[in-house]
Amino acid sequence: MDVIAPPRRLAVLGQGYVGLPVTIRAVEAGYDVVGFDVDKSRIDRLTRATSFVDDVSDQDLRTALDTARFHPTDDESALEGFDVAVVSVPTPLRDGAPDLGCVRDAALTLARHVRPGCTVVLESTTYPGTTEDEFVPLLESAGPWAAGRDFHVGYSPERIDPGNRRWTFRTTPKVVSGIDPPSLDAVAAFYRTLVDRVVEVPGPREAELAKLLENTFRHVNIALVNELAVHGHELGVDVWSVIEAAATKPFGFMPFRPGPGVGGHCLPIDPSYLSWQVRRALGRPFRFVEIANDVNDHMPDHVVHRIAARLNRERKAVNGSRILLLGLAYKPNSGDARQSPAISVARHLADQGAVLRAVDPFIEPQQVPPGVTLVDTTPDELAAADLVVVLTDHDALDWELIGGFASRVFDTRNRLGNCGAERL
């Protein structure tokens, strides 16, 4: 364990998919950490060492608690005396516009506790200008202290990829910024104690936009191959072979692969922040984002259409057909069902009267939509299904068993390869 000396007091506001990994890594590095969240039920789970985040195990929580340097709480008074505060709270879309309510609440909470020499970092995904125009004034609102003069402020976008065992919080390069050079120095110095590499950028606006660019790049390219999959099917072209062939080019190409849509905490939301700001500030749309949104948002509908067409060839209707869904999370090897296209597919099929059963070893029961029964992968379940639909290709699923006993398969992830399954 690499311990800094002496330990400093860190406050992490927001103990979800982003904030909790920061908290646990900081405890490992020797910080005394207040994990603050307004959700009391979440705090209760943390104090019982019960994790709800893929990248943090129950044992990780127990180890952190045993150090006596991890203090999960919903009591604001515990924030008193922090040296560094990291804000990792949700920034959802509401009616197509960014909702900064949680960011503003966190800033107002911290404003009552800022003091000379402390550092405050915003990590929540947002549009350029938020840190300097919205966050800083609220931090200064409760007292005589001025950002830049008395305390440091910066922005460092989160890059958490749930379930990714190679690129963890520690090993992923951390983009950092500050509202002035001393703030940049303070923010960079803090993250150097937590991650292997820090990347400094000129200011918060560049860091905020870099985050949106990263996710917009993925969103647009996924939309490209999703639309290619739709048209390729209609043209009788195997899009999976096309992508693999193109991927042999050693320069100028990066392979993306189609699927039932996009989900999680980034792709369905973050690019729309950029589109919203461009439309608001410049009076015109960000066309790439709006086209990508349209393509990716309609992929669950396309998947349902393909399922119906496959059943029709068997002289079956969706209504009354027994369909086994493999995977409900938005990505492999994760229990995260936020904005999951698999959930959207399940709801559409349920609305059409399908008898739905699903296999997902990571999902929690409360995340399963109405009309879907969770089951185990067994030969009987596979054989009884009128259609088996691969929506999320978890490594933990027994793919050899699935390939051996499922005779009718629609594979949206190409997990089973070209072995008789119909592919997206």
Distance CA 132, CA 126 (A): 12
Kindly state the DSSP code that residue 369 receives in the 8-state scheme.
P
Contact predicate 229/299, CB 8 Å? no
Token pair of 327 as six digits: 């995977």
Distance CA 353, CA 142 (A): 56
Strand-pair partners of 36: 13, 73
Token pair of 79 as six digits: 């924030």
Phi, psi of 317 (to 5 degrees): -100, 160
Contact predicate 6/41, CB 8 Å? no
Among candidate residues 364, 412, 359, 363, the one with its CA nearest the CA of residue 382:
359
102 is catalytic: no
Helix/strand/coil for 214: helix
Among candidate residues 81, 385, 414, the one with its CA nearest the CA of residue 260:
414
Among candidate residues 295, 285, 276, 287, the one with its CA nearest the CA of residue 91:
276
Distance CA 347, CA 308 (A): 14
Phi, psi of 152 (to 5 degrees): -100, 145
CA distances from 10 to 121, 190, 399 (A): 11, 10, 44
Helix/strand/coil for 262: coil
Phi, psi of 195 (to 5 degrees): -125, 165
Q: State the catalytic residues.
A: 266
